[in-house]
Structure 1
Amino acid sequence: MSNNEEIIAHLNECLKHEWTGVAQYSQASFIVEGVWREVYADTFLENAEESFNHAKLVGNKIVALGGVPAATRNEIKQTRDLQEILQNSLEFESKAVEMYNKALELAEGNRALVVFLENILEEEQEGVDEFTKLLRNSQATSSSSIDSKTA
């Protein structure tokens, strides 16, 4: 497998992850209820939009490199429990950081591609940082989590 084929294959894995983020964060924004809806619904929707923006960037880069962008996504994690939604979000962002770090390793020697990936990686790391901070003092949310019995 040539280096271009290897980076395209990995970027397609990143793209599938971003498509998953669009669905998972959108679902979280729809499902969050009660007083926490005011606090979190827009945050989840903004994360869905960020994933979509990353998907557009990565999809276009795949085509520029001579590949065909993936049109599938991975399985999303769904729950009505706010604590779990926040934890899933942290795990999702952490996985994105891991994936873009691997893409950076594969892009070594291609400065433009490295800068492109570093910009996305920076936003993904900001997501990790934000969800880490939200979960740090999450006792308030765990006692007020969304009741899954109302579904």
Structure 2
Amino acid sequence: MHEVTSNAHTGIDTAAIREAARNLDDGAVTAGYQGNREEVIAMLNGALATELVCILRYKRHYYTVSGANNGAIKAEFLEHALEEQEHADLLAERIVQLNGKPDFNPASLTERSHAEYNDAEDVAAMVKANLIAERVAIESYRQMLARIGDSDPTTRQMLVGIMAKEEEHADDMRDLLE
């Protein structure tokens, strides 16, 4: 059987691609990866810390908000906590795909997080703290996307999806303030 070394229509060197793919130690990271892997992993670990702090903040608010008229707010806090957990899972999975190690160390979590933890007692203060944190997350993702550019399309697509959800969360919190 004759092996084609390049596709005449696309100019893709299939023989070179196949040979490079035999380096199994790099997992999903191929020779054509153009991002700065260490920098991307560091950014993703910062985002992971942020999401973990957001989960804890939303969970605390969920469990401590009280009052007969606050059922909808309580439900919103829980929904956001669960969605932030999905974001954390996506980030951790991507870090591993890039041959990095997700940092779940609780000892340094708050200092690595872009957003702050909040233990407010008042419902309005809780909502305000969550809105601020969502705005911090949105801007952090925006800056990460600018930094990554087109060098890592998979990470970029994931971050765009997470940022869209954070914008939805911010909108939800703003609506609750009114």
Same fold (TM over 0.5): yes
In the alignment, does 2:49 pair up with 1:20? no
Q: Which residue of structure 2 aligns with residue 128 of structure 1?
A: 170
Q: Give the alignment's TM-score, normalised by structure 1.
A: 0.84
Q: Which residue of structure 2 aligns with residue 41 of structure 1?
A: 74
Q: Which residue of structure 1 aligns with residue 129 of structure 2?
A: 88
In the alignment, the residues of structure 2 paired with residue 14 and residue 90 of structure 1 have an alpha-carbon distance, to the nearest angstrom, of: 17
CA RMSD of aligned residues (A): 1.4
Quote the offset at 1:108 in angstroms: 1.1
Quote the offset at 1:50 in angstroms: 0.8
Q: Which residue of structure 2 aligns with residue 3 of structure 1?
A: 36
In the alignment, does 2:100 pair up with 1:67? yes
Q: Which runs of 5+ in 2 are unaligned?
A: 1-34, 111-115
In the alignment, the residues of structure 2 paired with residue 39 and residue 129 of structure 1 have an alpha-carbon distance, to the nearest angstrom, of: 15
Compare relative contact order (CA 8 Å, sep 6+) and give the higher one, 1 or 2. Answer: 1
Is the 8 Å Cα contact of residues 86 and 131 (structure 1) preserved in structure 2? yes
Which range moved further: 5-14 or 99-108? 99-108
Q: Which runs of 5+ in 1 are unaligned?
A: 138-151
In the alignment, the residues of structure 2 paired with residue 105 and residue 4 of structure 1 have an alpha-carbon distance, to the nearest angstrom, of: 15
Classify the secondary structure of the residue corresponding to 2:149.
coil
Please tell me whether Structure 1 or Structure 2 has the larger radius of gyration of its CA atoms.
Answer: 2
Q: Which residue of structure 2 aligns with residue 146 of structure 1?
A: none
Is the 8 Å Cα contact of residues 11 and 58 (structure 1) preserved in structure 2? yes
In the alignment, the residues of structure 1 paired with residue 156 and residue 169 of structure 2 have an alpha-carbon distance, to the nearest angstrom, of: 20
Tell me which stretches of 4 or more aligned residues in structure 1 moved more than 6 Å: none
Show CA shifts across 1:30-78 (max 9, x none). 0011123312111101111011110000000011112111103325210
Write 1 or 2 for the structure with the bigger share of helix.
1
Quote the offset at 1:111 in angstroms: 2.0
How many equivalent residue pairs?
Answer: 135
Classify the secondary structure of the residue corresponding to 2:160.
helix
Quote the offset at 1:134 in angstroms: 1.8
Amino acid at match of 2:142: N
Q: Which residue of structure 1 aligns with residue 7 of structure 2?
A: none
